[in-house]
Structures are given as C-alpha cells and as structure tokens.
Amino acid sequence: MPAPKNSIRRSLLVTSAIVLSTALTAPAAFAAPSPSAGSSSKPSAGSSADSSATVSADPPKTPSKKPKDSKNSKGSKAAPPAKMSTVGGARLGRAGTQVNLASGVPVLPKGLSARSWIVADAESGEVLAAHNAHWELAPASTLKMLFADTLLPKWPSSTEHEVEPSDLAGIGSGSSMVGIKEDETYTVHDLWLGVFLRSGNDAVRVLAAMNGGVENTVAEMNEHAEELQALDTVVVSPDGYDAEGQVSSAYDLTLIARSGLQKKDFREYASTVRADFPGETRKNKKGKKVRESFEIQNTNRLLSGDYDIPVYQGIAGVKNGNTTEAGATFTGVAEQDGRVLLVTVMNPEKKEGNQVYKETAKLFDWGFEAAGKVDPVGELVPPRSAAQAGARPGGAGASPGEAGGTGEGALGAADGRPVASAAAGGGAGGVGTALAVTGGVLVLLAGGAFLVNRRWPLPDLVRRRPRP
C-alpha cells in the first residue's frame, strides 16, 4: 500500500531540514510567533458527510466586537445557520459533518450527539473532521482559555495581590468558585490554579481587577480573539458566565487552545491534576496567625478521571465548561505515538453523566487512528501577525512563553534531543501535576520539525503515559 502523500511530503521536508541544518555553520534559533494583543460545578442560573476536496477559506472580515443577536446564540436553537464562517476552509462553513471517508479511513464513532465538534492536528493545523465547526454557541468556561491566553503574560507568577471586596463584585449566581477570601493575599500562581483547576469565577474576577477591571479585560480578550482570527468569538463576561450575545465556536475554541499551549505556564496549569490552595488565615491555640490550605482537583474528567470515565491515555489538558445556556463544553489536547491532537466538543444532546468527555474520548480515538490516512477538510489558521511574518526566514519574534513575558524558545536542545521537564514550584500550586501523576515528560520539538510544520506548531508537547 503506498504511503500517504502527507507522510511522503513530511519525510522529504524532514530530510531537507536535516541537510540544511548540517550545512549551517552556526545554529539558527526559532521561536513561536507572538500573538499581539471553564467548568462550573453548577450550571449558572443565567445563563452529513461530504467527501469533496477542501477549498481555501475566503479572506476573513474584521468583525465588530459587539454582542451578537441573542437569537443566533441561544443554546436552545435546534439547527445551525445555513451560512457560517469559512475561516480555515469553505467546508468548515457548511452545516453537518465534514470528513473525507475513503479506503483505509476509519468510520466516525457512533453515538456522537454534540451540536458542534472538531478534530485537528495540533502541530500541522490540519482539521481531520468537523461537525458544524463555526456554529456560534455559548462557550461556558472554555472561554477561560482566551482569558488565560490574554492575561498570562501580564505578571510573574510570584506576584502577590491582597483581595479587596470590589475585586469580587459582579460574580454571577451559581458560579463555580475556588474559595477566594477578601483581605487575604494570593500569588498570581495561586489565582491561575483556581482558574484552571476549579474554573473559579472568583479567581477570574480578581485577575481581571488586577488588569484594570472587567471592562478593560473584556476589551483585551476581544482584541486578542481577533488577532487569533477567532472571529466567531464575542466576549461579554471574562469568566464565560452566560451573557447576552456571548458566543464562540468549536473552531475558535480550538484556535484559542492552540495559542494558549504555546505558553509554558498555560501548559502547566492545564495539565495540573491537583494542588494545595491557600485558605483563610486563623489564629492557632497559641494565638499565632497561620494560613490554612486545602486541596483542589481539576474538574477536567479526562485528566482526573471519574466513577464512569477513566483518565484518557495521553491527555494533557485543556479546559471544560458547563452552564445553563451552553450545556457542557470541552476542549482537550492529547498525544499518542508522537501525534498531538486537539478536540473540541460543544453541548452534547445526550444528557448522561460526563457525556462531553465520553464523546471527546471517542473523537480522540478516531483521530489517532485516522491521522495520516484521512485527507483534511480544513485547517487551523495562524494568528494574523504570524501569517504576515510567515514568509520571512525564521518567522516572527519570540512568543512570551510564560507569565512575565520572559519567553520560551520553540526548540529543544541544540542536538534535537528531548528535554524533560520538572513540576513547577513556588506558591501553593505546582504540585500534583499530570507530569507527576502519570510520570510523563515535557518534550521540545527539534529544529527540523519546526521547519516541517510551518503552520504555527506547538513549541513543545506534553506527553503522557497511562497511569499505573
């Protein structure tokens, strides 16, 4: 059986990259291009296959970031609109399931009930299959990925902040909370753990207050979404709490996750299974003030497991959500046998326990089996700045790889060997990460791989082994 065309092309490019690298007298440094600019424990109170060839996307129009007509964003709407965005390819703008089924390509899993979903290769950006990819739906706490991708570079993780009453104003009824207390001091690291693990709207509000307030934060998030070409996305509330006109799409959430995963801190928080979180300061029996702590666990059930669903082999994040308007939403990233996939699932019609994770796991299984065999139906587009710089040798400048903007190179060791990571320390978090729980390692891509994957690849990949 002849090798797939994509594999042949990739092999030739890898060979070319190796020849080029050995011919150079000095090592070249590459970095991921820089963008310019969740889950609720309780639902909030407010809140056909086509095998034709892939067609290039029409040039996207710059949207007006005003709340859209709520009639188009209601989670109760039964069918997707006839016309949707074509960013990433014309087929992604069509209603229904888009996949190129052919000899050797596995059929899609049975029992998928989500209103929208997408399976994409995180490195190449190829969309392997999709269903109503650009349907604008309420995103719930998956929107916190955009919040994190926008604000993570603002402060070093060790920055401390004493919480004022005004910081916690405006939190919606029934919101998921991590348990932040007024007049207590938290590090930025603590607050991000609260955002990613417990999907704490209280943690989001404190960070937004540190960023000049909710209104400013929402404006920055909308600006960053536009830079990422996530043009289905309109932010009204930074925490993803149901709000009039607030929408995103499976396509956009996948773009946002891919962008966030460029950042070291984002990857750490997204892959953390459990951590100690600061509690209240009390006086002990001797009258001395002591700060208590309590354990928090990630509500991403493919990462932490549950009574009816095991930890998914290779899972490394990303973010879940659940509100009245959105139903259950989830974006995940996983690696198996050197292949890294992103899957987003929005609002399964089946209301069984953990249904969003079960459908995600099915799509991951299909994607890993189909990868290298199925022709893509579209692509994840790069950010505007990366697309503009893509023609230049070496691409754009370095991305702010971690909080504080210190940056992280796209490559690993000079000889291309994997570089193992350690669990991050400091503050109350950094313990109980998936790295420690599963014994996984953090691997950096070598320069040759970066040359092959020109569509804004991940600078490094979190790899997983099944838990013992």
Q: What is the DSSP string of 68-133?
A: PPGGGT-TT--S--SS---TT-GGGGSSSEE----TTPPPPPTT--EEEEEEEETTT-EEEEEEST
Which residues lie below 8 Å from residue 124, measured CB to CB, with a gap of 6+? 379, 453, 455, 457
Instruction: Give the active site residue among 73, 157, 199, 259.
Output: 199
Active site residue 144: yes
**Cβ atoms 160, 249 nearer than 8 A:** no
Which residues lie below 8 Å from residue 192, measured CB to CB, with a gap of 6+? 148, 152, 157, 203, 207, 265, 269, 403, 429
**Cβ atoms 261, 254 nearer than 8 A:** no
Give the other-Cβ count within 10 Å of 349's Cβ.
Answer: 11
Active site residue 85: no
Active site residue 199: yes
Amino acid at 141: S
Q: What is the DSSP letter of 442?
A: E
Instruction: Give the active site residue among 144, 263, 264, 319.
Output: 144
Instruction: Give the burial class of 463: count Cβ atoms within 10 A of its Cβ; 0-12 exposed, 13-18 middle, 19 or more buried.
Output: buried
Q: Which residues of 44-54 are buried (b: 16+ CB within 10 A; e: fewer)?
A: bebbeeeeeeb
CA–CA distance from 195 to each of 4, 94, 242, 346 (Å)? 42, 34, 17, 20
Instruction: Give the burial class of 103: count Cβ atoms within 10 A of its Cβ; 0-12 exposed, 13-18 middle, 19 or more buried.
Output: exposed
- The C-alpha atoms of residue 464 and residue 338 are separated, in whole angstroms, by 10
Instruction: Give the active site residue among 141, 175, 271, 421.
Output: 141
The residues annotated with a catalytic role in the active site are: 141, 144, 199
